[in-house]
């Protein structure tokens, strides 16, 4: 056996042992310090409450905060779809894949990941304002819950109103039976969210139409050439696919499309 390798192995094992001991010690000290401090002890909310009856029987109950947190986590995907730029981006990417003629490439996971991180990029300034104006003061104990919620939602409402068409807003306001609003802050979320989603779908289909046209022209040209050559048994989609991919790559299509999508939210 190589003595150098054995020595290195012993040193590595000794380092791992010391690292585990040090990490466990730091974790224990942090827990003791957190629970020994009065303010920290008051801030900790038990997730599970155990009550012991007179006969020794125990009953378990969840706190209201945990139930609210679980409900918010359940509604988080719906909120992501309904109040951010995700809807427009994912619809345009899906139309692009259909225009290229590739049903499974890129995969749904790739398109969803790209749309998700592009959404975070577009919404970064809005989320920063919501955190600075509402969430951070609430965590610091400077604002009450209702005021913090109103200040956190206000930048998101301004973002949605900037992407909303007046006709759609007028329609849902009429359907809700409410009069004209004095300011954008007066528009309730129950009216604004469906209005925003309707406008986003319309905008996404308009962008998708412009994306689809060049690939449709290639399909028509290839189909006409094959028909004139008498190759009616050969699928035009099979022949046009390499040309569409080549065109998309030559014009740097991904950069153009993603840049145009990001710029469409900040005209």
Please say if the pLDDT value at position 126 is more than 50.
yes
Torsional class of 44: left (φ above 0), alpha (ψ -120 to 50), beta (otherwise): beta
Averaged pLDDT for residues 183-191:
78
Residue 16: which pLDDT band, with cuts at 50, 70 and 90? very low
Q: How many residues does the chain have?
A: 267
- Residue 117's SS3 state is helix
Give pLDDT tens digits for 194-246: 888 999 999 999 999 998 898 888 888 888 888 888 777 777 777 888 888 88
DSSP line for 42-56: HH---SEEEEE-TTS
Averaged pLDDT for residues 96-120:
87
Radius of gyration of the chain (CA): 28
Please say if the pLDDT value at position 15 is more than 80.
no
pLDDT at 205: 92
CA pair distance 86, 200, nearest whole angstrom: 9
Averaged pLDDT for residues 148-154:
81
Closest CA to 243 of 222, 213, 212: 222
Tell me the helices (H) and strands (E) count for the chain, helix number first: 11, 2
Averaged pLDDT for residues 118-146:
82
Averaged pLDDT for residues 27-37:
38
Please say if the pLDDT value at position 121 is more than 50.
yes
pLDDT at 28: 38
Question: Can you give the pTM of this predicted structure?
Answer: 0.68
């Amino acid at each position: 056996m190589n003595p150098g390798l054995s020595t290195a192995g012993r040193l590595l094992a000794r380092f791992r042992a010391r690292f585990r001991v040090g990490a466990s010690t730091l974790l224990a000290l942090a827990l003791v310090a957190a629970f020994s401090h009065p303010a920290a002890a008051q801030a900790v909310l038990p997730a599970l409450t155990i009550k012991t009856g007179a006969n020794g029987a125990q009953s378990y109950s969840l706190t209201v905060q945990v139930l609210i947190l679980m409900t918010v986590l359940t509604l988080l995907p719906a909120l992501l779809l309904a109040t951010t730029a995700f809807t427009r981006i994912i619809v345009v990417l899906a139309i692009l894949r259909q225009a290229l003629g590739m049903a499974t490439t890129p995969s749904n996971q790739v398109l969803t990941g790209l749309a998700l991180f592009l959404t975070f990029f577009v919404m970064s300034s809005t989320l920063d304002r919501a955190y600075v104006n509402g969430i951070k003061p609430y965590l610091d104990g400077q604002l009450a819950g209702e005021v913090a919620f109103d200040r956190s939602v206000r930048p998101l409402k301004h973002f949605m109103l900037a992407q909303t068409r007046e006709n759609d807003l007028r329609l849902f306001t009429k359907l809700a039976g409410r009069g004209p609003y004095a300011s954008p802050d007066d528009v309730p979320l129950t009216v604004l969210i469906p209005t925003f989603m309707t406008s986003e779908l319309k905008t996404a289909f308009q962008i998708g139409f412009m994306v689809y046209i060049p690939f449709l022209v290639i399909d028509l040209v290839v189909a006409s050439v094959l028909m004139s050559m008498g190759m009616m048994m050969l699928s035009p989609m099979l022949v046009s696919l390499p040309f569409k991919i080549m065109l998309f790559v030559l014009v740097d299509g991904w950069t153009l499309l993603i840049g145009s999508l990001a710029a469409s939210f900040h005209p």
